[in-house]
Structure 1
Amino acid sequence: MDLKFIVREPENITPQTQLLVLLHGYGSNEEDLFSFRHDLPEDWIIASFRAPNNSDYDGYAWYDIDFNNADKFIDIDQAVDSMKQIMKSIENLKHHYNLETKTNIMGFSQGGILTYAMTLTYPEFFNKVACLSAYPEPKILKNIKGKKQIQHLRFFVSHGNEDAVIPLEWGRKAADFLYELGAFFTFREYMTGHGVNQKNYMDLMEFFKK
């Protein structure tokens, strides 16, 4: 089933038009990261997906989290199922707009965790990758491609140094992990909690524009 999404279309769309997919965090919705669209390249298609599962407090989740059980911090079946739905939805979007370009993707927190897994497993579909306040989850990182297959990817990784949800240490491990894989990435820490502050936001926009 296709995921619900909202989209901003540029005036002109050709097979070479860039697509940027946005994946929100746990308990949020498709409106969240979509607010970034005002500062993203005007000639790109910006599509923000809604996660398929309901979470507490009227939001949505890519998978359930059991905060009281470290082993259940990620519902693997739901995470894998969400990734399949995201990949299918991206494929359908590309088909709908007749795009020949690789997809750019940005994920925050839970959305970023899935972004790591999808881009490292299916790098041939992706181009620029932003993982915000997230980490690579070993339980869903299967069949990671080698250096040769991922060398075209460009990662922007950011983390708040006072993140109380996903520890900064996990973000730093992500940078080590990408380094060992031989991936091209920028890793930045910001004076903030589990979120994106002004400086982080400006650096992120710069990453997509250059």
Structure 2
Amino acid sequence: MHGLGSNYLNLRKLAALYPVPVIELHIEGALVYGNGFAYYTPQALKKNEAEVIEKTADALYTEIIRILKENNLICESMNIIGFSQGAILAAVLSARYPKFFDNAVLLSARLPDFLREFGQKKLSKDKIKTACFIAQGEFDPIFPVEEGRRLRQFFSLYSCVMPEYHEYPYGHKVSRQTLEDIYNWFLD
């Protein structure tokens, strides 16, 4: 899932990280934003962040299920990769549907405040079955490195698998080293 102002092609090359053949679903945001698309706009978050992001995540979940059913796709393993806004949504999906994804790759994201509250009220230790790889840039101007640490802490509290966490010496992007680390994580 792509970041704000990007499109489904942005992360397409990351499918090669899986050491086995995969069926790719690239779900593009429906809102035109800049030169690309968004799943929700920053202006919408001023209304009610929890409502906007939860509604978007639930719509994405419904769309994924619809695509799988319509195409008779039976998946042995469900994985999700997200960057920035897409990673925020991937984190929310992993928490709200704790048994749906086997693996989540969360690149340059943040933990929404409502998700921490959701965890405290609705999740217990070992509830989330999704294994997470979290990557955060040390110099990310959009989501400071502390945001990645908050994601790691959240998944450490509620996941049955300790998250794999990496900080990289760059900003809001994905480096070659990140790709190598993700590939090696999938192999383990």
TM range (shorter): 0.7 to 0.9
CA distance in 2, matches of 1:128, 1:92: 20
TM-score normalised per structure 2:
0.85
Query: Is the Cα contact below 8 Å between 1:65 and 1:73 reproduced in 2?
Result: no
CA distance in 1, matches of 2:187, 2:68: 21
Alignment partner, residue 125 of structure 1: 100
TM-score normalised per structure 1:
0.77
Pairwise CA distance, 1:180: 2.6
Alignment partner, residue 174 of structure 1: 151
Deviations 1:33-77 (A, max 9, x none): 01223443342112211011111x2211111114xxxx7397544
Q: Identify if the C-alpha distance between structure 1 residues 126 and 94 changes in structure 2 by more than 3 Å, giving closer, same or farther.
A: same
**Unpaired segments ≥5 residues, structure 1:** 1-22
CA distance in 1, matches of 2:187, 2:23: 14
CA distance in 1, matches of 2:48, 2:167: 24
Size of the aligned set, in residue pairs, is: 182
Alignment partner, residue 99 of structure 1: 74
Query: Is the Cα contact below 8 Å between 1:64 and 1:75 reproduced in 2?
Result: no
Pairwise CA distance, 1:197: 0.7
Are 1:83 and 2:60 counterparts? no
Query: Is the Cα contact below 8 Å between 1:63 and 1:74 reproduced in 2?
Result: no
Q: Identify if the C-alpha distance between structure 1 residues 163 and 126 changes in structure 2 by more than 3 Å, giving closer, same or farther.
A: same
Q: Please state which structure has a larger fraction of its residues in helix.
A: 2
CA distance in 1, matches of 2:107, 2:84: 6
Q: Identify if the C-alpha distance between structure 1 residues 73 and 175 changes in structure 2 by more than 3 Å, giving closer, same or farther.
A: farther
Q: Please state which structure has a larger fraction of its residues in strand.
A: 1
Q: Identify if the C-alpha distance between structure 1 residues 53 and 77 changes in structure 2 by more than 3 Å, giving closer, same or farther.
A: farther
CA distance in 2, matches of 1:129, 1:92: 20
Alignment partner, residue 134 of structure 2: 157
Q: RMSD over aligned Cα, in angstroms?
A: 2.2
Query: Is the Cα contact below 8 Å between 1:102 and 1:127 reproduced in 2?
Result: yes
Pairwise CA distance, 1:97: 3.1
Q: 1:201 aligns with which of 173, 179, 186?
A: 179
Q: Identify if the C-alpha distance between structure 1 residues 75 and 145 changes in structure 2 by more than 3 Å, giving closer, same or farther.
A: closer
